[in-house]
Amino acid sequence: MIKESTRSGGLRRQGALALGILLAGGITGCHATGPDDRGQRLYANICQACHQRDGSGVSGMQPPLAGTPVPIGEKAVLLGWVMYGERPAALPRGVYRNAMPQFYFLKDEDLAAILTYVRSHFGNTASVVTADDVAQVRHRHPGT
């Protein structure tokens, strides 16, 4: 008898757990899990204060990320700038008074998601950045 009730209690708990997983899967499945959403969230947290929500920048302070060559250009050059501050030839000197921090400390997957987001929004239509692309650039900077 005791055995029986313990077992049915266990089954009920399993049922509740399965429902919980289903609900969680349903909620996260609709929104907020794709690489694009991840890129958008990270962009909002890390880059947006300077480059603005729509990538339009702030005149004289920080450049737009739309209509400029570096964001949609060669991935290694873009990554070299964002991660290590290696100045691309196409980024003019003395135009923007603010300084950009270096972001080598972010994870490969996070940098890939952010830059993929930047390259496919604000009117940009450039190729995806993968974690492998990031790892290759990181490889040139041992110890980071």
Interface residues toward ligand HEC, by CB under 6 A: 46-47, 49-51, 62-63, 65, 68, 70-71, 78, 81-82, 90-91, 96, 98-101, 103, 114, 118
Choice between 3 and 97, CB closer to ligand HEC: 97
Choice between 25 and 101, CB closer to ligand HEC: 101
Choice between 103 and 133, CB closer to ligand HEC: 103
Cα dihedral 42, 47, 51, 53, rounded to 10, equals 30
The least distance separating ligand HEC from the CB of residue 95, rounded to whole angstroms, comes to 6
Q: Cα separation of 33 and 35, whole Å?
A: 7
Q: Cα separation of 131 and 136, whole Å?
A: 9
The least distance separating ligand HEC from the CB of residue 40, rounded to whole angstroms, comes to 12
Q: Cα separation of 58 and 37, whole Å?
A: 24
Choice between 20 and 101, CB closer to ligand HEC: 101
Cα dihedral 116, 51, 89, 75, rounded to 10, equals -10
The least distance separating ligand HEC from the CB of residue 33, rounded to whole angstroms, comes to 21
**Torsion sign, CA atoms 93, 97, 102, 103:** negative
The least distance separating ligand HEC from the CB of residue 69, rounded to whole angstroms, comes to 6
The least distance separating ligand HEC from the CB of residue 70, rounded to whole angstroms, comes to 3
83: nearest Cα among 58, 56, 115: 115
Choice between 2 and 99, CB closer to ligand HEC: 99
